[in-house]
Chains A and B, each alone.
Chain A
Amino acid sequence: MELVDRLKILTAGARYDASCVSSGSRRKKAGGSMGICHSWTEDGRCVSLLKILQTNDCIYNCRYCVHRTDTDGPRTSLSAREIAELTVNFYRRNYIEGLFLSSAVRGSPAQAMETMLASVKILREEYKFPGYIHLKGIPGVDESLLKKAGYFADRMSVNIELPSAESLKKLAPQKKPADIFNPMHFLEKNRREEKGFLGAGQSTQLIIGASPESDREIISLASYLYGKFSLSRIFYSAYMPTGDPRYIPGVQNPPLLREHRLYQADWLFRFYHFSFDEIIPPGQNDLETELDPKSAWALRNFWFFPVEVNQASYRELLKIPGIGPVSARRIIKARKERTLDFSHLKKLGIIMKRACFFVTCGGRRIPGLPSDPDHIRPFLTMPVSRPRQPRLFAPPGGERF
C-alpha cells in the first residue's frame, strides 16, 4: 500500500485518542516548554502533534475498539523509519510540535512496544529530534521497556478507557486492571525519582458512555488518579459508535454534552480548588446536564453569595460563576488601583451574564435581578433550542439536529 494510504488509515485509527497536549515538557530544548496549537480540525479539536498508530493490527478483541479482531477493515503499519521521517518533515515545516505515537497490539504487547521504541530511537538519536514525543504505554509490557520509553518520551499515557474493573472485564476481557495500573505506577515512581524522566508526566483517557458508570464514579476515579499518580491530564472521550453493537447497545449519539460537563468538573478540580463533594454532592449520581457544574454548585450553596469583589480572597472569587483564574487575578490587581464597579468588571473580562447574580460592588447589587436560586436558574441554563430561521425548502430526510 502507498505511504499516503497507510497514513490515512493509521491516522483515522489514532483519532479517537483525545490527547493533544504538547506543553509541560522539562526537556532542555530550544523554544521552551509551551504548547503550541498548529491547527484545528473540522471537529474543532486542536492539532499539535502528528497523531498516528504504528500499526492497527491487533491481537485483542476489545468490544469498544475500532481495531478489535472481529472487524474486517484493512490492517497495515508504518515502519520505524517512516514514522521518524514523517515527524521530522512535518516538524521542519512547522505543521506540528512533535509526535503522538500509539499502536495496536501486534504479536504481543512487548513486540508492539519495541517497534514504537525503534521509531522514537531513530528520531531522538539519529535525527536529534528536539520536539515533543508522547508515547502510548501498551498495557501489560515489561518494566524495562517502559523505562526506555520514559527516556525518549516527554509524556506517556496508559489508557484506562473503561472506568471500572467490571466494565473492563466485560468489554476488554483480555486486559486486566493490573496490566494498566502497574505501568502507571512504575512510570510515576521513576518520574519522582529521576529528573528528566518523562518531563511532562503521564496522562490517561476514559471513554464516556460505552459502559454504565455514573458521573460520580468517573469523577471519583479521576480524583483518585490525580492524587495517586499525579497525572498531568485525564482525557474524557465520548464513545463513538465504533464498537461491537452486540456488547455496547443503545448508543445512538455520542454523549458530547456529558463529555463537556466532565471536562468542566475536571477543571474545577484542578484549577478552581473545588473538592470532590463540592462538584458532585453526596446522593447525586450524575452532573446536571442543563447547567455547568460551577453554576450548579453556586445555586446549591447560595448562602455563600453575594461575594463582594472588592474584598473577596482569590479562592472566594474563583467560586463565582463567570470568573476564572485569569479574571480573578485581574480583579485583585485592578482593585489595588481603585474601587471596582460593575462597568469595570465587564472591562476586566468577567462574564457578567453569569456573574451578575452572585456579586456585589461596594456593597451594591445590580438592581432588578432575582435574588433566589430558583429564579436565577432559568437565566443560567442553556437555551434548549435556539431560535432558528425556518427553511424555505426542507432538506430531504427532514430536519436534522
Chain B
Amino acid sequence: MKELVYDGSFPGFLTVLGKALTEKGEIQIWSEDEYRPSLFGTAQKVKADLDFALEFKKKLVFDFPEPVYRPVLYAYLAEEEGTGNLVFDFLHKLKRKEAVFAHRVGELCQGVTREKVRMLGFVRFRKVESGYFYASIRPKYNIIGLLAPHFASRQANHQWVIHDLDREMAVLGREKDWEIKPLPPIKFPEDIAEEEIQKLWREHFKALSVPGRINRKRQNNLVPRRYWPHLTEKG
C-alpha cells in the first residue's frame, strides 16, 4: 500500500489527488496533521505544486462526467478527518463511471453549502471605533472564503471584516477586494452610535412576531443554538 502525504494546503490537496489518480494499486492520502505512520505502508511526501494544481483544477471541471471542482473544494473546506481518502475514492469512482450518488463527498458538499447559505444571512456586522464593519462568527466549516465574494460586492462602499474566531482567520474587505489573513481573537471597541442601532434592531425583531403564532420549535430548527451568540437579536 502506498501512502501519500500532503502539506494540508489546498494546492497541496489538489496536487496529491492529481498524482494519486495516475498511480496504480492501493493508495491512501493523508495530510501531515492526520498522518500516523503505519507498519506496512510506504509514506511518500508530495510537495504542493501550484502549476500542477491549476492544471488539475481544469481537469476537474472538464475531464470528468460532470464538473466536480466544487465538491472537491467544499469537501476540503469541511476539514473532516480523512478527507483526502474520501475525495480520492469519489474521483476514482467517477473516473470508472461507478455510481457516486449519496457519496460522503456529496454529503459534505451539501453540509458546507448549507452553512454557507445560512451564514450569508447570519453574519452580523458592528461598526467599530476605527470606522469599519466587523463581524465575528464560529462556523462549523471553514467557509469565510466562500462568504467573501458575496460581501465584497454587497459591502463595497466601506471596509469590513469577517472573523472566524475558532480558526483565527479573517477576511478583510475593501472596495470590492478581499483577502484572508490570520487574526487572533481580540475585542474591538464599538462605535458610539452602535448601541442605539442594535437596540432598534432588537426591538424591531421582537415586535415582528405575532403573539398568537409562537412556534419556538420551528425557530430553533431554523436558527440552531450554536449561531445565537453571534446574532445581534439573540445575543
How many residue pairs, one in A and one in B, have C-beta atoms under 8 Å apart?
A: 134
CB atoms of A40 and B222 under 8 A apart: yes
Q: Is A41 an interface residue (CB 8 A)?
A: yes
B117-151: contact bitstring with A at CB < 8 Å (1 yes, 0 no)? 10011111111000001010000000000000011
Closest A residue to B155 using CB positions = A92
Q: Is B113 an interface residue (CB 8 A)?
A: no
CB atoms of A38 and B207 under 8 A apart: no
Contacts of A31 in B (CB 8 A): 150, 153-154
Q: A15-B210, A51-B208, A334-B99 are in contact. Are A3 and B126 (CB under 8 A)?
A: no
A256 to B213, CA, bound (A): 8
Contacts of B125 in A (CB 8 A): 92-94
Q: Is B24 an interface residue (CB 8 A)?
A: no
CB atoms of A348 and B123 under 8 A apart: no
A256 to B205, CA, bound (A): 22
Q: Is A392 an interface residue (CB 8 A)?
A: no
Contacts of A241 in B (CB 8 A): 212
Q: Is B158 an interface residue (CB 8 A)?
A: yes
Q: Is B214 an interface residue (CB 8 A)?
A: yes
Q: Is B102 an interface residue (CB 8 A)?
A: yes
Closest A residue to B222 using CB positions = A40
Q: Is B183 an interface residue (CB 8 A)?
A: no
Tell which of A6-14, A141-149, A205-213, A299-307 binds the partner. A6-14
Tell which of B5-13, B37-45, B194-202 binds the partner. B194-202
Q: Is B34 an interface residue (CB 8 A)?
A: no
CB distance from A124 to the nearest CB of B (A): 15
CB atoms of A337 and B99 under 8 A apart: yes
CB atoms of A15 and B207 under 8 A apart: yes
Select which of B150, B201, B208, B210 is within 8 A of A240 by beta carbon.
B210
Contacts of B150 in A (CB 8 A): 31
CB distance from A328 to the nearest CB of B (A): 14
Closest B residue to A334 using CB positions = B101
Closest B residue to A45 using CB positions = B209
Contacts of B127 in A (CB 8 A): 92-93
Q: Is A39 an interface residue (CB 8 A)?
A: yes
A256 to B218, CA, bound (A): 14
Select which of B121, B153, B199, B214 is within 8 A of A43 by beta carbon.
B214
CB atoms of B203 and A16 under 8 A apart: no
CB atoms of B101 and A330 under 8 A apart: yes
Q: A94-B125, A330-B101, A337-B99 are in contact. Are A41 and B153 (CB under 8 A)?
A: no
Select which of B100, B101, B123, B156 is within 8 A of A94 by beta carbon.
B123
CB atoms of A11 and B158 under 8 A apart: no
CB atoms of B100 and A39 under 8 A apart: no
CB atoms of A44 and B218 under 8 A apart: yes
Q: Is B22 an interface residue (CB 8 A)?
A: no
Q: Is A384 an interface residue (CB 8 A)?
A: no
CB distance from A192 to the nearest CB of B (A): 30
A3 to B196, CA, bound (A): 10
A330-343: contact bitstring with B at CB < 8 Å (1 yes, 0 no)? 10011001100000
Contacts of B126 in A (CB 8 A): 93
Contacts of A8 in B (CB 8 A): 203-204, 206-207
A42 to B124, CA, bound (A): 19
Q: Which residues of B come within 8 Å of A, CB atoms?
A: 97-102, 117, 120-127, 133, 135, 150-151, 153-156, 158, 197, 199-201, 203-210, 212-219, 222-223, 231-233
19 pairs across A/B with beta carbons < 8 Å?
A7-B207, A15-B207, A36-B120, A39-B205, A42-B209, A42-B215, A43-B219, A48-B121, A93-B125, A93-B201, A93-B232, A94-B121, A94-B125, A94-B135, A95-B233, A254-B212, A256-B213, A344-B101, A348-B101
A-B complex: 6 closest residue pairs judged by Cβ atoms = A44-B218, A30-B153, A347-B102, A41-B209, A11-B207, A44-B215
> Beyond the given A4-B199, A94-B124, could you list 11 further A-B residue pairs with CB under 8 A, ordered by the A residue number?
A4-B203, A8-B204, A36-B120, A39-B223, A39-B233, A44-B215, A44-B216, A52-B204, A90-B197, A130-B154, A254-B213
